[in-house]
A = this chain, B = another copy of it.
Amino acid sequence: MRKISESTVRRLSLYLRFLEQFDAQGQATISSAELARRGGTTSAQVRKDLSFFGSFGKRGLGYSVPELTARIRDILGLRRTYRVVLVGAGRIGSALIQYPGFRQRGFHVRAIYDTDPKKIGSGWNGLVVKDARQLESDLAREPTDIAIVVTPAEAAQDVVDRLVRAGVKAILNFAPAQLVVPADVVVKSVNMALELETLSFALANR
């Protein structure tokens, strides 16, 4: 398979959302033009994105909605479930864990860790907050694919180092810090304040 760029992966993820909506409405086929319209892109781009999977759209008939849905789920690694742990029992973590989209797509948050004695042991969205010192022993017992890191900036790298040593291969980072990880670990960072700052920059420099 050819290498797929991150921007293609993001578009596939968007197409999947639209396809799921069409599927729920009982629509059997979809044209590249309709996917393009919904995805804010061009038919040519849609056809190019989907050509990564080989040709299975029929000219004039469009793509089969269930077939395309299954193929994109496959390519995005969504045919299985992922065990996810969350480090940092704060508000952003709470919003994330309650977000129905995560579970629907097979991302199951199984444990939550914090260092704050006031939080450890308390109930939290159906889980009990565990002592972050248990991370290593828990992960040794229950191999975990993905960790979500919502710690203060200064704690993030240390937590990530520990997660990586414990075998975690994918990290979603909400701490405002640049993280260093080995080449076989993937990190995605989301920084809300930074997103707002790109907006204020745009407003200030029009």
Query: Provided the pairs A196-B102, A196-B107 are in contact, do residues A178 and B40 lie with their beta carbons within 8 angstroms?
Result: yes
Within 145-194 of A, Cβ neighbours of B (below 8 Å) are at 145-146, 153-154, 169-172, 176, 178-180, 184, 186, 188, 190-194
Closest B residue to A92 by beta carbon equals B95
Inter-subunit contact B77/A200 (CB<8 Å): yes
Does residue A94 face the partner (Cβ distance < 8 Å to B)? yes
Inter-subunit contact B99/A91 (CB<8 Å): yes
Inter-subunit contact A198/B102 (CB<8 Å): no
Inter-subunit contact A77/B205 (CB<8 Å): yes
The minimal Cβ–Cβ distance linking A41 to chain B, given in whole angstroms, is 8
Does residue A199 face the partner (Cβ distance < 8 Å to B)? yes
Does residue A9 face the partner (Cβ distance < 8 Å to B)? yes
Contacts of A99 in B (CB 8 A): 91-92, 192-193
| Closest A-B pairs by Cβ, 9 of them | A77-B204, A40-B178, A95-B95, A77-B200, A101-B193, A170-B199, A186-B202, A91-B95, A13-B197
| A interface list, Cβ under 8 A from B | 1, 4, 6, 9-10, 13-14, 17, 21, 38-41, 75-78, 82, 91-92, 94-96, 98-99, 101-102, 105-107, 145-146, 153-154, 169-172, 176, 178-180, 184, 186, 188, 190-206
